[in-house]
A and B are shown apart, each in its own frame.
Chain A
Amino acid sequence: MHIPDGYLSPLTCIITYAAALPLWVIAFRKLKEKLDEQTLPLIASLSALSFIIMMFNIPIPGGTSGHAVGASLIAILFGPWVASLCVSLVLLIQALIFGDGGITTFAANALAMGFMASFSTYYIYRFFERKAFAPFISGWVGIVSASTMVAVILGIQPLIASSEGKPLYFPFGLDLAIPAVIGSHMLFFGVVEGIFTLIAYRYIVSNKLLKGVSA
């Protein structure tokens, strides 16, 4: 799901940065409110866990691979703003140090894997709060929502940026991007995120690693 540099038209990059900047400012304020001696080690650890979990590339049929994100776990424990900012930080490190995801596309990636995943997770979690499967289903929805955003952003590129019939940036349209990206996340990576979120959430609750969160 990490969109590389060169895959999105300059206009897409500008719009995604313009949309993400104010959201990052709000998210930073929310993070400041939540950080204290008790939450800081846990939020930092879950961010590190998000980074690590994205390194587990899972091969799937069809010759591609993917991974979970870890945004959902942070979103249900600390809210969607904190989760969005933590995942954005992870994505920034991946882009700058490891060339995983582009710099020009960082905002698009942060909107999808950060904000989209976190907010969709959070509201689905709220909806099913008292159910045992809530962390699973909200994790699954988070990843599938993020992948939907990525598929649409990629799939519209040939429509908005072509020259003499040749696409200038990402060349495949929505007809290919939507089934490939959303389908694989519905069937595989969303399930992985759901299972991960469920196990990790149960572990954190049963070991009382965060005050105020109970089963």
Chain B
Amino acid sequence: MKKLAYPLLFIFILLPLGLISENPAWAEWENEYYHDILGFIPEGIQNAFALPSIIPDYSLGGLNDVVSYYLSGIVGIVLIFGIFYLFGKKIAR
């Protein structure tokens, strides 16, 4: 179990490296980008369906970026392990 947990922990500690990039991914721009490039924002993008995210863009309002990123990582990991734990229980029955 340790042989599995230690490398995961190591990668998790490095998580703030993911914040280094200031660049957005291609095709994941802010709406203003389209305004600047095209002179308009495509209607569908402007009026996109949007659910309010609990932790939008992995940042918790007011908290330091690095802390937010670590917390986001923990939330994701806990959810994934939680869901697999429930799968396991359901299948074992």
Contacts and interface: CB of A to CB of B under 8 A. Distances in A.
Contacts of A43: 84
Contacts of B14: 56
B11 A49 contact: yes
A79 interface: no
A29 B72 CA distance: 30
B25 A2 contact: yes
Contacts of B53: 96-99
Interface stretch (A116-124, A136-144, A166-174): A166-174
B21 A57 contact: yes
Given A55-B73, A161-B44, A171-B34, A203 B7 contact: yes
For chain A, give the interface size range: 35 or more
A18 interface: no
A127 B23 CA distance: 36
A207 B18 CA distance: 28
B80 A64 contact: no
A195 B35 CA distance: 38
Interface string B23-46: 111111000001000101011111
Nearest to A97: B54
Contacts of B4: 41-42, 45, 209
Interface in A1-57: 1-7, 9, 31-32, 35, 40-45, 47-49, 51-53, 55-57
B42 A169 contact: yes
A154 B8 contact: no
Given A1-B25, A48-B77, A103 B47 contact: no
B23 A63 contact: yes
Nearest to B12: A52
Nearest to B48: A6
12 contacts: A7-B44, A35-B87, A41-B1, A45-B4, A55-B15, A55-B73, A56-B15, A65-B23, A89-B83, A168-B44, A170-B27, A203-B7
Pairs of residues from A and B, 5 with the lowest C-beta to C-beta distance, nearest first:
A6-B48, A99-B53, A44-B84, A59-B21, A169-B44
